[in-house]
Structure 1
Amino acid sequence: MSFSKCVCLICQSTIAIPKKGNVERHFRTVHGKYDTDFPPKSELRKRKVKELKSQLSGQQSFFTQHTSKAKAATEASFRVSHVIVNNKKSFQDGEMVKEAFVEAADSLFRDFKNKAEILSSIKALQLSRSTVTRRCEATAEDLTQQMWKDIGDCECFSLQLDESTDVSDTAQMCIFIRMVFSDITAKEELLTVLPMKEQTRGEDIFQSFKNFIEKTQLPVYNWCLSPRMEHPQWLAA
């Protein structure tokens, strides 16, 4: 048996419906001469069946190991991408990190018996600029989903608005959120950053914030707003 399907030990074909009649039909139709070559209950047949089982187990083990290595390489790629973003480095630095990793491993694992396997796993890491970009986008999407789930689960939350400018001198409005849950724990997150492309008057800030609420359907029935201040303070909901 392989998962929910039967696998023929002789030809390794799969039988979708694991019923005795289906298995017997396959054996009689495809392997009609097997009983002649390997008589039932004979030692020859027992040895052959044992050999076939060993071959199948080896193949299945190989594919399982391959899948595990692929998952480990993907996880490592996400971890390195996270470090790159945390240190505000260019996405193309992933290739440099990989090259440094290979060079260091060549010395660190010089006396290890499985050095070749270790180096092979490192070289299999996908850290090109496009890959790091996709990893960061996937991470950001996951974090966003987690935050909106927390917003839906929390008992109440407060908001804080602060204005700043980016490197191009464009005004940006940062909105922070503090959520309080039923077990009295609290969590603070950066909710969003809204560009103020025209003016930064109070009514412009309010309209931009209102548009954000309408677009995201933020549950405003359980929040209170902390206005902009030189040293902003949170308001309890």
Structure 2
Amino acid sequence: MAANRKRKVDNENRQFNDDLTVQYCFVQQQTNVICMLCHSTAAVAKVSNIKRHYETKYRDFNNLIGDKRTARIGSLRHSLNCQQNIFSKQSAEFSAACEVSYEISLMISKSGRPFPDGDFVKQCMITASEKLCPEAVRKLQKVALKRMTVQRRISHLSADVTRQLADKASNFVYFSLDADETTDIIPTAQLLVFVRGVSSSFDITEELIGMGFMKGQTTASALFEETMRLCSSFHLISRNW
């Protein structure tokens, strides 16, 4: 006996009927069916659900008939479209401001400048915009470049670079390591480990795996253990070691 399968409404491929717009003031926006009077969304695009919503809350709307009803529905549709366009525009501006924030944070990181310089860069952009393109001032003010924001952006970028390197390292057929130990003005030794790997498609990758801080004596065994620790996050020591 075939197993009983529970019917899913999503699999029924229900089609929205445009006549429902005139009868019950509902309209389809992408995959949603929206009431133009209260902007609520119907959970399921069933005629019974739409009719129940309309008759429960907006029965008085039936007093509008003929051209008055058509004009009112056209006005509601236009208002809803304008609202949707505003939300889309705001979302696009937010995405652009976020992207600019990441780009500037990356530039700050590469130049070795302190994180609070983000505020200074923002003030420079706004000042220049006020003279050259005043219409862009409002958009530039949305770019987040506070010290903690820049720090968080750089942390996200660093994590993404680490993830990309881990993905490439998982495809290495052969690889070699290069370690360099040095000490600067602080007494703690610093160990830099680089990897050069080649994939089966002969893509060569050369990147810095990480930097370790070593306290005490930098013996051969200590250097080996720190190198193993840095390589463990990229799953290199479990293969070919």
Q: Same fold (TM over 0.5)?
A: yes
- Whether the 8 Å contact between 1:5 and 1:17 is mirrored in structure 2 is no
Structure 2: give runs of 5+ residues left out of the alignment.
Answer: 1-27
The match for 2:22 is none
Alignment pair present for 1:108 and 2:135: no
For residue 189 of structure 1, give the secondary structure of its aligned residue in structure 2.
Answer: strand
CA distance in 2, matches of 1:22, 1:62: 29
The match for 2:9 is none
The match for 2:25 is none
Structure 1: give runs of 5+ residues left out of the alignment.
Answer: 110-114, 224-237
The match for 1:70 is 94
Cα distance, 1:68 vs structure 2: 1.0
Highest RCO, 1 vs 2 (Cα 8 Å, sep ≥ 6): 1
Matches within 5 A, 1:118-197: 118-197=136-215
One-letter amino acid of the counterpart of residue 108, structure 2: I
Aligned with 2:57 (options 9, 18, 30)? 30
Aligned with 1:81 (options 105, 111, 117)? 105
TM-score, normalised to structure 2, is: 0.83
The match for 2:71 is 47
TM-score, normalised to structure 1, is: 0.84
Alignment pair present for 1:4 and 2:31: yes
- How many residues are matched? 214
* Larger displacement relative to structure 2 (165-174 or 147-156): 165-174
One-letter amino acid of the counterpart of residue 111, structure 2: N
CA distance in 2, matches of 1:86, 1:212: 22
One-letter amino acid of the counterpart of residue 59, structure 1: Q
Q: Deviations over 1:163-206 (max 9, x none)?
A: 12244242111100112122212111000111121111212212
C-alpha distance 215-29 of structure 1, shift in aligned 2 (>3 A): closer
